[in-house]
């Protein structure tokens, strides 16, 4: 018997960067995200003989983060050695949240394969141990992740406020500094870290209010501010975390110009050089065609809001 699950990446509008001290991979800040639909991770698990085996795109892989995650789950549940096969339909490790969809799909598949019968909230808390943002990919639509439980919850279903995200890939190389390393460095070295934690708590509360009101313009301003504040924190880290390239900057400028010309669009960027332009569906065509003409842009993907992680019935 084997079980296959799928999950989508999510993009934070109010960002998380930094962890609490201690165990459990608890974020230092709350966050608010949207789950995308067309980008997807598909993961199959089945009991194996001997030890765990991992395959990415059918190639044998050795991923310490996944092996540590499996070891952590086995402290809580009876889980046999597993063969894990995982595939992404988008570039992994390049700031497109492949770890979010990856750990959400893996946790969901293990729950079904091992008949653990866990609730979505528990799956979210477990996925978070693999990657903070993975807690959010268990759910679809608009999703909040906050303490003290640090289990994500859905704020709005995908159909309740459909937005479109244009994902602009400006480099498909693996990112240089993984987010966990970067977060530790920011907490240890940036003079801005305490201010970041305080301002993000306030941004999160405001974000929930604006999503409930479907106030696109105010959410646009807040999301860009949260993104730029996170990148200011990254830049003030020692050694500096500079994830952008020239095309990233050109996309930001183009999105700001479109916004000033009256289009409903804003940008957000994570720990990589890709730019996500979030817009109202009626603006998507123009946003996409403008961004794909920018020099250095390699690929442009379009996504609506997606559902949470689910089991694929064969």
Binding site for ligand PMV (CB under 6 A): 12, 15-17, 31, 99-100, 131-133, 179, 270-271
Nearest CB to ligand PMV, comparing residues 44 and 133: 133
Please enumerate in sequence order all residues whose Cβ is within 8 A of that of 106, keeping only pairs 6 or more positions apart, or say none: 5, 43, 45, 66, 69, 84, 86, 127, 130
Tokens 């439980």 correspond to what residue? 149
Residue 10 Cβ vs ligand PMV, minimum distance, rounded to whole Å: 7
Nearest CB to ligand PMV, comparing residues 197 and 271: 271
Alpha-carbon gap, residue 306 to 34, rounded angstroms: 8
Alpha-carbon gap, residue 160 to 143, rounded angstroms: 12
Q: What is the DSSP letter of 174?
A: P
Closest CA to 263 of 234, 287, 298: 287
Nearest CB to ligand PMV, comparing residues 37 and 270: 270
Tokens for 267, please give them. 């940008």
Length of the chain: 314
Residue 286 Cβ vs ligand PMV, minimum distance, rounded to whole Å: 27
Please enumerate in sequence order all residues whose Cβ is within 8 A of that of 192, keeping only pairs 6 or more positions apart, or say none: 232, 233, 236
Nearest CB to ligand PMV, comparing residues 4 and 131: 131
Q: Which residues pair with 268 in a beta bridge?
A: 276
Residue 81 Cβ vs ligand PMV, minimum distance, rounded to whole Å: 26
3-state DSSP assignment of residue 137: helix
Nearest CB to ligand PMV, comparing residues 113 and 128: 128
Nearest CB to ligand PMV, comparing residues 220 and 271: 271
Nearest CB to ligand PMV, comparing residues 99 and 264: 99
Residue 251 Cβ vs ligand PMV, minimum distance, rounded to whole Å: 17
Residue 246 Cβ vs ligand PMV, minimum distance, rounded to whole Å: 21
Enumerate the H helices of the chain as residue ranges.
Answer: 64-74, 98-113, 120-130, 134-137, 179-189, 193-213, 216-235, 246-260, 284-292
Closest CA to 38 of 286, 276, 298, 296: 276
CA distances to 94, 96, 254 from 298, rounded to whole Å, are 13, 14, 16
């Amino acid at each position: 018997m084997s079980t296959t699950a799928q999950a989508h990446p999510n993009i934070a509008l109010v960002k998380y960067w930094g962890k609490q001290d201690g165990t459990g991979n608890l974020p230092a800040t709350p966050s608010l995200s949207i789950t995308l639909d067309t980008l997807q991770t598909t993961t199959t698990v089945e009991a194996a003989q001997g030890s765990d085996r991992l395959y990415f795109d059918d190639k044998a892989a050795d991923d310490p983060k996944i092996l540590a995650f499996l070891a952590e789950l086995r402290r809580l549940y009876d889980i046999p050695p597993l063969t894990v096969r995982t595939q992404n339909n988008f570039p992994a490790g390049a700031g497109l949240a492949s770890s979010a969809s990856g750990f959400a799909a893996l946790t969901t598949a293990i729950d079904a394969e091992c008949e653990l019968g866990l609730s979505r909230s528990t799956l979210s808390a477990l996925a978070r141990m693999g990657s903070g943002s993975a807690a959010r990919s268990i759910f679809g639509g608009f999703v909040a992740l906050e303490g003290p439980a640090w289990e994500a919850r859905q704020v709005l279903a995908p159909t309740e406020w459909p937005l479109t995200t244009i994902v602009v890939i400006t480099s498909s190389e693996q990112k240089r500094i993984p987010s966990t390393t970067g977060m530790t460095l920011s907490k240890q070295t940036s003079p801005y870290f305490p201010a970041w934690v305080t301002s993000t708590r306030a941004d999160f509360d405001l974000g929930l209010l604006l999503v409930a009101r479907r106030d696109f313009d105010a959410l646009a301003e807040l999301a860009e501010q949260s993104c730029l504040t996170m990148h200011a924190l990254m830049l003030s880290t020692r050694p500096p975390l500079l994830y952008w390239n020239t095309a990233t900057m050109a996309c930001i400028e183009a999105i700001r110009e479109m916004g000033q010309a009256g289009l409903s669009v804003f940008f957000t960027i994570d720990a990589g050089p890709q730019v996500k332009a979030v817009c109202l569906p009626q603006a998507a065509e123009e946003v996409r065609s403008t961004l794909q003409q920018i020099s250095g842009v390699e690929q442009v993907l379009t996504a609506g809001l997606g559902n949470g992680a689910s089991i694929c019935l064969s």
